[in-house]
Amino acid sequence: MNSQVPVGARVLLELAGLQLPAEREIFLTAGLEGTRRIAEALARRDYGDREPAARFGPPPSRSP
Amino acid sequence: MNADLYWLAVAEAAPLIAARKLSPVELTEAAIGRIEALEARLNAFITVDGDAAMAAARTAADEIAKGGARAPLHGVPIALKDIFGVAGVRMTAGSKILAENVAAEDAEATARLKAAGAVILGKLNLHEFAFGATGVNPHYGPSRNPWDPARITGGSSSGSGASVAGGECAAALGTDTGGSIRIPASLCGIVGLKPTYGRVSKRGVLPLSWSLDHVGPMTRAVEDAALILQAIAGRDAADDSTSDEPVPDYTQTLRGGVQGLRIGIPKQFFFESVDPEVESAVRSAIGLLEEMGAILTEVDIPLIGEMPGGVTAVMLPEALAYHQRWMSERPDDYGDDVRYRLELGATYLAVHYVQAQRLREIAVEAWRAEVFSRVDLIVTPTTPITARPIEEGDLQVTFNLIRFTNPLNLLGVPAISIPCGFTGEGLPVGLQLASRWWDEATVLRAAYAYEQATDWHQRRPPL
């Protein structure tokens, strides 16, 4: 049976360690349209030199 | 005492308990009796810890007899969404995967409630792993809306909404990653407060999306939300996401009214495709706020076209990161809708996630400069729709439910939902008020003023 999910998406799922049975492909395929729209919108923006929101901080100097 | 003790608000019970006119034992018995009477209809709880609750109530009664009440929550029964750790108590997260999981420790919020003397009644139903907005749970059944048990409560803090609205407890804790406190508050006709990101510790609370998760109270009265926030807010040295920002006395400013407060009405997005009955109730509420002295201003909402996508690009990958091992090893143990969202999380690239986190910084700056420099609050409908029938399905309903709440999770600003009316079918409508970062006091003050000028919060569901 031919997969309905684009090869790229299937590779991403495999890289994430997920298996996608055929009966669930139709849902993921529909959802990919949303991913595409969001990805395109995120790619259009000029972020300048803005850093991502993040909260990594090294431990205090007194910690082992 | 009358038989309706279970309808007492925290702020009503506290002085009675302090004056020893009401015993925590009586109050807890009333709550447990109410739970026993209603659970077959509401399905709000996953675990009712009646023995432990009664033991805690007796301890509270002894302490109060010996030394007086030490806080407004002393001896007051409260329930927790089943992703808050309570040492020695089952914590399922509404999942099959964690059905037998027992928390080793109290969550920090649990510990702070206990330190304030609260009686923990049990653990509340939720959308599986808090990853959905309807509250329809395939493993434990849907929580049912007290205003119409054939309809959803909204989620993910679904049991919290049902239990508080149904009088099973005066207050509950919920979590909010894209609206999961405010949505069930709106659909169940109660108060739900999402504080500023970092105001309340998340330690010991099972995560959905670390950078979007918020912990907050769900109550029938705004003052109760203030009292509970007071007990749980503040820096937790073991949770780096929490802040050193000072925690004000929320009750001190609660009665300040709205005279002179600048309230922004969004020109874009937040009033688009709204159920006419919802819009009518919200517009009436805005009119009342103006009559009460608020200064209304229309405001442009920056970046709102991109922000919901940004939430998705952050939430889905973070959620999949947490669930990856279980999704790899036990995918069939998830409900269909949650598994679908997690699978979709794998389709976002690292670059999308990072750009969304950069968008977040840009959005914070834009809202600071263009919205919260001009107004003290913005006002919107909490949800564009009211409670839908349980069997209606998930995807389109979820899309609608989260539309007006999730952009505020990206910003991390405090936001509250309060009741502002009912539809012709008798379903509650929620009003959302949001303010600048760390200013929960203004959110609570405006919400309290509106609440006191109306009687929506005094209506009881026909159970």
pLDDT digits (tens, 9 = 90+) for B368-383: 999 999 999 999 999 9
Q: How far apart are CA B219 and CA B203, in angstroms?
A: 22
Identify the pLDDT of residue B1. Answer: 52
Helix (H) or strand (E) holding B173, with range, is strand B171-176
**Is B456 in a helix, a strand, or coil?**
helix
- Spatial neighbors of B103 by CB under 8 A, at least 6 apart, are B85, B86, B87, B88, B89, B90, B91, B204
- Spatial neighbors of B179 by CB under 8 A, at least 6 apart, are B133, B382, B383, B401, B402, B404, B405, B406, B409
Q: Which residues of A43-52 are buried (b: 16+ CB within 10 A; e: fewer)?
A: eeeeeeebeb
Beta bridge partners of B36: none
- pLDDT by 10s per residue, chain B, length 463: 556 999 999 999 999 999 999 999 999 999 999 999 999 999 999 999 999 999 999 999 999 999 999 889 999 999 999 999 999 999 999 999 999 999 999 999 999 999 999 999 999 999 999 999 999 999 999 999 999 999 999 999 999 999 999 999 999 999 999 999 999 999 999 999 999 999 999 999 999 999 999 999 999 999 999 999 999 999 999 999 999 999 999 999 999 999 999 999 999 999 999 999 999 999 999 999 999 999 999 999 999 999 999 999 999 999 999 999 999 999 999 999 999 999 999 999 999 999 999 999 999 999 999 999 999 999 999 999 999 999 998 888 999 999 999 999 999 999 999 999 999 999 999 999 999 999 999 999 999 999 999 999 999 999 9
> Model pTM?
0.97
Tokens matching residue B310: 């940004």
Domain residue spans in chain B? 5-458
Identify the pLDDT of residue A55. Answer: 77
In angstroms, what is the C-alpha Rg of chain B?
A: 20
Is B416:B192 a contact under the CB 8 Å cutoff?
yes
Identify the pLDDT of residue B133. Answer: 98
**Is B366 in a helix, a strand, or coil?**
helix
Is B193:B414 a contact under the CB 8 Å cutoff?
yes
Identify the pLDDT of residue B29. Answer: 98
Q: How many CB atoms lie within 10 A of CB B292?
A: 16
Task: List the one residue out of B446, B433, B459 whose CA is nearest residue B379.
Answer: B433
Name which of A3, A19, A38, A50 to mutate to probe chain B: the one with the most chain B Cβ atoms within 10 A of its Cβ: A38
Tokens matching residue A28: 């993921």
Tokens matching residue A11: 């590779």
B355 contacts A47? CB cut-off 8 A:
yes
Residue type, B14: A
Q: How far apart are CA B241 and CA B130, in angstroms?
A: 19
Give the ipTM.
0.93
Beta bridge partners of B216: B174
**In this model, does residue A64 exceed pLDDT 80?**
no
Q: Strands of B262-266's sheet, edge to edge?
A: B45-48, B119-124, B77-81, B171-176, B214-219, B191-194, B415-422, B428-435, B377-381, B262-266, B295-299
Cα distance from N-terminal residue to C-terminal residue, chain B: 21
Residue type, A47: Y
Is B152:B390 a contact under the CB 8 Å cutoff?
yes
Enter the DSSP assignment of B302: T
Helix (H) or strand (E) holding B262, with range, is strand B262-266
Q: How many CB atoms lie within 10 A of CB A37?
A: 12
* DSSP string computed for B208-233: S-TTT-EEEEEESSHHHHHHHHHHHB
Chain B positions touching A15 (Cβ under 8 A) are 346
Question: Which of B327, B331, B360 shows the shortest C-beta gap to A53?
Answer: B360
Average pLDDT over chain A reads 88
Is B386:B187 a contact under the CB 8 Å cutoff?
yes
Question: Which of B306, B340, B359 shows the shortest C-beta gap to A27?
Answer: B340
The CATH superfamily holding the domain B5-458 is Amidase signature (AS) domain (3.90.1300.10)
Tokens matching residue B433: 């008020």
Chain B positions touching A25 (Cβ under 8 A) are none
A35 contacts B344? CB cut-off 8 A:
yes
Question: Which of A12, A35, A53 shows the shortest C-beta gap to B211?
Answer: A53
Q: Which residues of A10-24 are buried (b: 16+ CB within 10 A; e: fewer)?
A: bebbeebebebeeeb
Find the largest Cα–Cα distance for chain B: 61
How many beta-carbon pairs under 8 angstroms link A with B?
A: 100
- Structure confidence by residue, pLDDT tens digits, B384-442: 999 999 999 888 899 999 999 999 999 999 999 999 999 999 999 999 999 999 999 99
